[in-house]
Amino acid sequence: MKDGVAEILVVDDSRVNHLAIDRLLHDENYILYPTSDGEEALDLLNDKPDVFDVVLLDLIMPRMDGMTLIRHIKSNDNLSHIPVIIQSSLSKQSEISEAIQAGAFYYLVKPITKYEIIAIVRTAVQDMVQYRRQQQALHSSTEVRELFTSATYQFKTMDEGLLLAAHLAENYAKPEQVITGIQELFLNAVEHGNLAITYDEKTVLNEKNLLQQELQRRLVLPEYKNRKVAVSFKLNSDSLELTIVDEGQGFDWQQYMEVSPERITHNHGRGIAMANLLAFDSLSMRARVIL
């Protein structure tokens, strides 16, 4: 990101499509870098791994197609964190599922509307901003793994949660991998648990770019302002155990444990699946019991 402006790599062999994407995103605060195939894009990514915030990718291209490029990106530790948005005319369920399995978090079926692409790209940029904040917090966290075997914490806001996630992640063998999973679970505990923002509400708030404003509003409402997320950490002889408890009503969590093809075009809804698949050896969830 350059001076607060997101930089997006657009990979498509059609000049017409490049012009269309430029027109659709014209009013957004982005810098677009057009490339014509996967090889050109991969060379640019390898040359400047810290530049791009999002890759907007077609699947059918000469030399190197989109699926091959995704696999290169996701297998490279310097690039794997970059959100990849597929924009393709391929619309079969098997084709969408293949892209998900390869590592795409977003899938748009052509023809793409302005409403769709703005919402999805905006969310991808926000994901990248959050990732960079996580890494900054992680690298500034103090090493304390040898000082305790168990601890308990409480927090209310995601700013507090980010600091705690960095602190806890330092105790794991791969903190850069684990911090994202912890952060996603903390995010779920605050937004959907304590502040009772529903899935559909978050969809609309993301579309209107009002999520942060709504979070701040709910944090001071009488029914939510005293709610906290309780976190306990325990170092066992052969494992690390992290427990997160919010004060919400619970939700149907089973459907979110894996990335669903039905939600691939939604502007959120992948956090728990990413934590489950990529961050931890084991993740279990339980609905809150209200007595």
Reported as a pLDDT band with limits 50, 70 and 90, residue 265 is low
Sheet with 30-35: strands ordered across: 30-35, 6-11, 54-57, 84-88, 106-109
Two structure tokens written together for 86 = 């597929």
Domain boundaries for CATH 3.40.50.2300 within the chain: 6-115
User: Where do we find the tokens 């391929």?
Assistant: 90
75 neighbors 103 (Cβ within 8 angstroms): no
pLDDT at 150 over 90: no
CATH topology of domain 6-115: Rossmann fold (3.40.50)
pLDDT at 35 over 70: yes
Q: What is the mean pLDDT of residues 95-100?
A: 84
The pLDDT assigned to 254 comes to 75
Sheet with 240-245: strands ordered across: 150-155, 229-235, 240-245
Reported as a pLDDT band with limits 50, 70 and 90, residue 290 is very low
**189-193-195 Cα angle (round to 5):** 110
Reported as a pLDDT band with limits 50, 70 and 90, residue 126 is confident
pLDDT at 291 over 50: no
The pLDDT assigned to 139 comes to 61
pLDDT at 269 over 80: no
pLDDT digit string, tens, across residues 52-90:
999 999 999 988 999 999 999 999 989 988 999 999 988
- Contacting residues for 73 by C-beta, under 8 A, at least 6 apart: 42, 45, 55, 79, 80, 82, 84, 103
The CB-side HSE value for 163 (13 A sphere, CA atoms) comes to: 7
DSSP state of 278: I
Percent of the chain with pLDDT over 70: 91
Selected residue with higher pLDDT from 11 and 109: 11
Domain boundaries for CATH 3.30.565 within the chain: 141-279
The pLDDT assigned to 71 comes to 93
**149-154-158 Cα angle (round to 5):** 115
Q: How far apart are CA 156 and CA 194, in angstroms?
A: 9
CATH topology of domain 141-279: Heat Shock Protein 90 (3.30.565)
Two structure tokens written together for 14 = 């059609």
